[in-house]
Structure 1
Amino acid sequence: MGLFDRPDQPWRAPRGESAVCGVALFVVLMVVWLLNSGHYTTLMVGFGVASSLFVVFLSWRMGIVYREGLPVRLLPRALLYAPWLFKEIFKANVDVARRILTLYEPNISPRLFDTGVTQKSDLGRVIYANSITLTPGTVSIGVRGSYIMVHAIAEEVADGLQEGEMDRRVTWLEGAGS
C-alpha cells in the first residue's frame, strides 16, 4: 500500500461528480493564485499550475472533493444572493452605528434567542449562520439541529431576523425552496 492509498477510499471518483468538482477546485485555486501572485511569467504560472494540481490531487485522494464541499451548483443563485446580503450588511452597519452614536441613550437591548432554520443540508445551515454573523448586530453562537442560537444587539434586530427573510433566501440559495 502506497503513501496515498486508503483502503476505505477508492481511487475512482464516485459517479463522476468528484472529477467535476476537482476541475472546479483547480480553476478556483488557479484564479486565487493568479490574483494573489501578481506575476504572470511562465515560471510563476507554472508554479501555480503545479501547486494547484497537487492540492487537487491531495484533496481528491483524501476524499474531500465532493458536491457539498465545493458547491459549484450554488454559484448562479449565489450571484443573486450576494448583492442582497451586501445590502443587508450595509443597512445593519448603519443601524448599529446609529445605535452606538446616539447622543442620549443608545437603544441597545441585547437578546439571546433561537431561530428556526428551513435548510435541508449542513451547507445551507452554515451559509445561514454565517450570513447572520456577517450582518452587524447579530452573531450566530451555535447550530443545534433545526435551530441557530443568535445574539442580537436589540429586540428590533432579533424580530427582523425572526421574520424569516434571510432564512427564505438561504433556503432558495441551496435549492430547496425553488
Structure 2
Amino acid sequence: MLYFLLLFSALGAFWLLLSGHWHNQLLLALGAASALLAAWVGVRMERRDTGAYSLGMLLRLPRYLAWLVAAIVRANIDVVNRIWYPDTHPIHPVAGRLPSSQGTDLGKTIYANSITLTPGTVAIEIGDDDVFVHALTREGFDELAAGEMDRRVTWAEGGRR
C-alpha cells in the first residue's frame, strides 16, 4: 500500500508540474484519475518483485542520475567529434558481453537503459549476469568494461560500490 501511495503521489505531482493546470477542476480530477490508474497498473505489474524498491534506493538515485547526465554529455561530445572529424576520430564498432552485478531485475533494467541512453552504446540483450552491448568504438566499449557504470548502478540499487 505504501508503494501505491508513493507512486500515486509522484505521478500526480509530476502530472501537475508538467500540465500547469492548477485552477481547472475538471483537468485536476482527470489528472488525479490518470495518476490513480497508472499507479494501480504499476502496482499490479510489480507484484512479483516488490523487494526491488526501497526508500534508500530512491534517495541514492538522484546522485546516480547526476553522474549519468555527465556521462551522457561526455559521450555526446565524443560522438559529435566522430561525426565531424572522422579522420582523427574513426568509428570502429565493437560488440560483446559485459558482466552485470545487479541483484534485481530493476537494477539490471536501469543498467541496460543507462548503457542505451549513453550515445554510442546500445544494450542489445540482458542475461542473468551479463549484458550484450554494441558500441561505436573500442574506447566506448572498454569504458563500459571498466565497470564504473555497473558499480554505480549496483550502489544505487543498494548493493556494494
Q: TM-score scaled by structure 2?
A: 0.86
Contact 1:111/1:151 (CA < 8 Å) preserved in 2? yes
Equivalent position amino acid for 2:20 in 1: G
Equivalent position amino acid for 1:24 in 2: L
Structure 1, 111-120 or 38-47: larger mean CA deviation? 38-47
Q: Secondary structure at the match of 2:125?
A: strand
Cα distance change on mapping 1:76 and 1:59 into 2, 3 Å: closer
User: How far off its partner does 1:145 sit?
Assistant: 1.3
Cα distance change on mapping 1:97 and 1:56 into 2, 3 Å: closer
Tell me what 2:35 maps to: 52
Cα distance change on mapping 1:33 and 1:124 into 2, 3 Å: same
Structure 1, 139-148 or 72-81: larger mean CA deviation? 72-81
> How many percent of aligned residue pairs carry the same amino acid?
40
User: How far off its partner does 1:29 sit?
Assistant: 1.9
C-alpha offsets along residues 16-38 of structure 1, whole Å, 9 cap, x if unaligned? xxx10010111122113212332
Tell me what 2:62 maps to: 79
- Number of aligned pairs? 159
Structure showing greater radius of gyration is: 1
Distance 1:24 1:32 in 2: 12
CA RMSD of aligned residues (A): 2.2
Structure 1, 51-60 or 20-29: larger mean CA deviation? 51-60
2:129 aligned with 1:138: no
User: Which has a greater percent of helix?
Assistant: 2
* Aligned counterpart for 1:33 among listed residues 10, 15, 35: 15
Residues 1-178 of structure 1 mapped to structure 2, 5 A cutoff: 19-41=1-23, 42-57=25-40, 60=43, 62=44, 64=46, 67=50, 72-102=55-85, 104=87, 106-177=89-160
Contact 2:56/2:158 (CA < 8 Å) preserved in 1? no
Cα distance change on mapping 1:162 and 1:29 into 2, 3 Å: same
Distance 1:58 1:87 in 2: 33
Q: Which runs of 5+ in 1 are unaligned?
A: 1-18
